[in-house]
Chains A and B, each alone.
Chain A
């Protein structure tokens, strides 16, 4: 496919330390793919391999159908926004933006029209002749975007582009970024460790951990149908409750409670005994007498719009529940109900999701 990026069995190691192991990943043309993961998970390395800054130790990287393992970065036709923005401090805003175009020796009026348009889109008119140190953080970030879009590259890489902005600006920048992408539709690869950013910006999210791709899917599926316990606990705040459970004779023992398992789930579970029972806090319906699972309130959190309580289940494990109604006091909660359609079950040995009842 045109302008797609494909990792095929890609390895990356520094000396004997493997950073990326057997990465298989296809990034489709024109999509917004977010690489998400904790620090040190290899997401930045993956991005830098696309840019050509990191050598590929094994496997092939395809761009636009061709192997580009040995193509120098300057010939890959990539635009990139760096976390630090990487603006040249000795140049004006205008010269920063046109740096690449001038190197390409584009005609003067082409450079002018592209740059004027980009400045207009990013509300930077009037700042052309300022030096970069005269700009605020948000303006610098927009100049960096501007420099990337004037190249009209089919690939758009972003390495934590919003992490140096304060929270309010970040939200605004996020929406602008999506708008900008809709306008030009390049293949966009965006690295972040911020899951809110990932959820709001992505067409698809690739979750990575310890150099391995855990799951690649739409934000909805990543949230509701995590492929394994890592994705389940990494996405969402508070994270998904994952509780040890034992399946025996169509009954699931969770804590001191025993749950009747619906027939369809029993089939799915099959002969497995040790399971991990996963349930999102907001899928728990607080009960003040009884409930399918019971426990004592240990502590409460109030974030204004949401109230969270941590329940201690009989087996000594904690389970977060969230009240959708902020007026509801969770102080005297005895337990909670849930719907089996919200349940995720993982194999205790491998941590993999066993599947869903459709």
Chain B
């Protein structure tokens, strides 16, 4: 018992440290958003600004087209999420329930795409978007993000956990493939689809580099891009306002994750056990 306790104690200390390291920047961001510029420089590390000021948030709401940026970001994230989820489910369905030549090879090839650094893909993708005349449009951001190897992989793992007799029962009843997908498979894997969708949404919402390359017009900016307008390399950055925007930006994904944590963790547990 005693060793158990001390073991657990050490683990908890380590975990606490990890949690602190991860939460500290967020706490710092939130507290800075409630400080005026003087406070930012006088008591930089003080996590509880006193008196807290709401002026940052007020000026964001007054002088900053927040709604436009939220809409831009949301539009891209929503389209990307829906398409990625759809392509992942369809591809996984084919990988699990169809037998075709070179299935394993194709699947392994798809897994290999995990290991290609994003930076390598930037050039060809950019050139393609330029050729398609989609630079500086949301579609230029969306198009290269419609398929995700990780999504296919996770969906495949989930689908493999569906007992085969369920599908055979449906087949004997005369169900066509699309009916099997729609009436049997999807209802059973709904939680997992939801979970990967949330991850896709959060990732797309937070994406910075790719939109930065594609979008030039400020009206098309997404929130992470807009954020950067308040920070300039030469100094004179408005830290308080920047942090207020940052807080507002990170709020939706944070809330989304909090509500759907259970699904997300289950999905990853499943893929680990069955893989």
Does A88 sit within 8 A of B, measured CB to CB? yes
Chain B 82-125 per-residue mask, 1 if CB under 8 angstroms from chain A, else 0: 00000000000000000000000000000000000000000000
Does B184 sit within 8 A of A, measured CB to CB? yes
Which residues of chain A are near B171, meaning CB under 8 Å? 53, 73-74
Does B169 sit within 8 A of A, measured CB to CB? yes
Which residues of chain A are near B187, meaning CB under 8 Å? 88, 90
Does A86 sit within 8 A of B, measured CB to CB? yes
Chain B 165-186 per-residue mask, 1 if CB under 8 angstroms from chain A, else 0: 1101111111110010001100
Which of A25-33, A75-83, A201-209, A345-353 lines the interface with chain B?
A75-83
Chain A residue at minimal CB-CB distance from B168: A53
Chain B residue at minimal CB-CB distance from A82: B165
Give CA–CA (A90, B184) in the complex, Å.
8
Does A99 sit within 8 A of B, measured CB to CB? yes
Does A236 sit within 8 A of B, measured CB to CB? no
Give CA–CA (A103, B182) in the complex, Å.
12
Chain A 205-242 per-residue mask, 1 if CB under 8 angstroms from chain B, else 0: 00000000000000000000000000000000000000
State the B residues within 8 Å of A (CB): 163, 165-166, 168-176, 179, 183-184, 187-188
Does A303 sit within 8 A of B, measured CB to CB? no
Taking the closest CB of chain B, its distance from the CB of A83, in whole angstroms, is 8
Q: Say what secondary structure dominates the interface of chain B.
A: helix
Q: Quick check: A99 and B170 within 8 Å, CB to CB? A: yes
Q: Quick check: B168 and A89 within 8 Å, CB to CB? A: no
Does A84 sit within 8 A of B, measured CB to CB? yes
A-B contact pairs, 29 of them (CB 8 A): A51-B172, A53-B168, A53-B171, A73-B168, A73-B171, A73-B172, A74-B171, A74-B173, A74-B174, A76-B172, A78-B172, A79-B172, A82-B169, A83-B165, A84-B165, A86-B165, A86-B168, A86-B169, A88-B169, A88-B170, A88-B188, A99-B183, A100-B173, A103-B174, A103-B179, A104-B173, A104-B174, A147-B169, A151-B173
Give CA–CA (A86, B119) in the complex, Å.
47
Which residues of chain B are near A73, meaning CB under 8 Å? 168, 171-172
Give CA–CA (A51, B171) in the complex, Å.
10
Taking the closest CB of chain A, its distance from the CB of B167, in whole angstroms, is 9
Taking the closest CB of chain B, its distance from the CB of A272, in whole angstroms, is 48
Shortest Cβ-Cβ A-B pairs, 5 listed: A100-B173, A86-B165, A74-B174, A90-B187, A86-B169
Q: Quick check: B172 and A74 within 8 Å, CB to CB? A: yes
Give CA–CA (A88, B182) in the complex, Å.
13
